[in-house]
Protein backbone atom coordinates (compact mmCIF):
# COMPACT_ATOMS: atom_id res chain seq x y z
CA UNK A 1 0.00 0.00 0.00
CA UNK A 2 1.50 3.27 -1.12
CA UNK A 3 0.68 6.61 0.57
CA UNK A 4 0.66 9.72 -1.54
CA UNK A 5 1.29 12.91 0.42
CA UNK A 6 1.15 16.43 -0.92
CA UNK A 7 3.37 19.14 0.53
CA UNK A 8 1.17 22.03 1.67
CA UNK A 9 3.22 25.20 2.13
CA UNK A 10 0.25 27.00 3.74
CA UNK A 11 -0.15 24.40 6.48
CA UNK A 12 -0.47 25.79 10.00
CA UNK A 13 1.98 23.28 11.45
CA UNK A 14 4.45 23.52 8.60
CA UNK A 15 5.97 26.93 9.27
CA UNK A 16 6.92 27.91 12.82
CA UNK A 17 7.14 31.59 11.89
CA UNK A 18 3.67 31.93 10.35
CA UNK A 19 2.02 29.79 13.03
CA UNK A 20 3.61 31.75 15.87
CA UNK A 21 2.58 35.01 14.20
CA UNK A 22 -0.98 33.70 13.89
CA UNK A 23 -1.05 32.61 17.54
CA UNK A 24 0.36 36.00 18.57
CA UNK A 25 -2.44 37.84 16.75
CA UNK A 26 -5.09 35.48 18.15
CA UNK A 27 -3.73 36.08 21.67
CA UNK A 28 -3.73 39.86 21.19
CA UNK A 29 -7.30 39.75 19.83
CA UNK A 30 -8.54 37.61 22.76
CA UNK A 31 -6.79 39.81 25.32
CA UNK A 32 -8.11 43.01 23.76
CA UNK A 33 -11.66 41.67 23.52
CA UNK A 34 -11.50 40.49 27.16
CA UNK A 35 -10.32 43.93 28.35
CA UNK A 36 -12.90 45.81 26.27
CA UNK A 37 -15.65 43.46 27.45
CA UNK A 38 -14.65 44.03 31.06
CA UNK A 39 -14.62 47.80 30.56
CA UNK A 40 -18.06 47.67 28.96
CA UNK A 41 -19.40 45.52 31.81
CA UNK A 42 -18.01 47.96 34.38
CA UNK A 43 -19.60 50.84 32.47
CA UNK A 44 -22.93 49.04 32.26
CA UNK A 45 -22.99 48.39 36.03
CA UNK A 46 -21.52 51.74 37.07
CA UNK A 47 -22.45 53.60 40.24
CA UNK A 48 -25.43 55.77 39.40
CA UNK A 49 -25.34 58.17 42.35
CA UNK A 50 -26.39 58.53 45.93
CA UNK A 51 -29.77 56.88 46.54
CA UNK A 52 -32.40 58.44 48.79
CA UNK A 53 -32.53 56.17 51.82
CA UNK A 54 -35.07 56.60 54.61
CA UNK A 55 -33.10 56.49 57.87
CA UNK A 56 -35.02 56.17 61.15
CA UNK A 57 -34.33 59.11 63.47
CA UNK A 58 -33.45 56.88 66.43
CA UNK A 59 -30.50 55.37 64.50
CA UNK A 60 -28.76 58.65 63.61
CA UNK A 61 -25.35 59.67 64.99
CA UNK A 62 -27.20 62.06 67.27
CA UNK A 63 -30.42 60.11 67.77
CA UNK A 64 -33.72 61.86 68.30
CA UNK A 65 -36.08 60.13 70.67
CA UNK A 66 -39.77 60.72 71.17
Q: Which residues of the chain have pLDDT under 50?
A: none
Determine the pLDDT at residue 22: 85
Q: What is the pLDDT of residue 2?
A: 66
Whole-prediction pTM: 0.54
DSSP string, the chain: --------TT-TTT-HHHHHHHHHHHHHHHHHHHHHHHHHHHHHT-----------GGGSSS----
- The pLDDT score that the predictor gives to residue 19 is 78
pLDDT at 10: 65
Q: What pLDDT does 5 receive?
A: 73
Amino acid sequence: MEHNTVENKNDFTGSWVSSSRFLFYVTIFCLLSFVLGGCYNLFKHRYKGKPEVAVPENTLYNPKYK
